[in-house]
């Protein structure tokens, strides 16, 4: 089994910055591509960003391109989401996800491991 634990959420002002972290533990050798998803109140969970095991391939949803950056440190089994210039519409619970395949994907059903989520609130 793989456990994912997110941290770094909280209250941030619009235009500020916040960095989310997701630490993987357990059978981490089975983890390859990882991603971030979010769920705003009253809305479905949506894709935010994903990264390949090597870190060379990253993909973002259009609404965060140029503002958010996904990265990873495999030595520490950790993936990050740097949120710059967040907007109130970025307010959501952010979930880290991992899968055993190397190809990053934007589909939540492709991920077999999920964290419990960390709440991000962006004030205007």
pLDDT score for 31: 83
Inter-residue contact 33 to 56 (CB < 8 Å):
no
Three-class secondary structure of residue 33 per DSSP = coil
Over residues 58-110, the pLDDT tens digits come to 999 999 999 999 999 999 999 999 999 999 999 999 999 999 998 999 999 99
Residue 5 in tokens:
């634990």
Q: Which of the four pLDDT bands, split at 50, 70 and 90, describes residue 26?
A: confident
Q: Which of the four pLDDT bands, split at 50, 70 and 90, describes residue 15?
A: very high
Mean pLDDT of 43-64: 97
């Amino acid at each position: 089994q793989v456990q994912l634990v997110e941290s770094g959420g909280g209250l941030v002002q619009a235009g500020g910055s916040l960095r989310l972290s997701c630490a993987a533990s357990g059978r981490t050798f089975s983890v390859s591509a990882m991603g971030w998803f979010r769920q705003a109140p009253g809305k479905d969970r949506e894709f935010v960003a994903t990264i390949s095991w090597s870190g060379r391939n990253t993909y973002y949803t259009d609404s965060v391109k140029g503002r958010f950056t996904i990265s990873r440190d495999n030595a520490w089994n950790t993936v990050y989401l740097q949120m710059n210039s967040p907007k109130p519409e970025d307010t959501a619970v952010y979930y880290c996800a991992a899968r055993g395949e190397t190809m990053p994907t934007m589909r939540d059903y492709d991920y077999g491991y999920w964290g419990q989520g960390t709440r991000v609130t962006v004030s205007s």
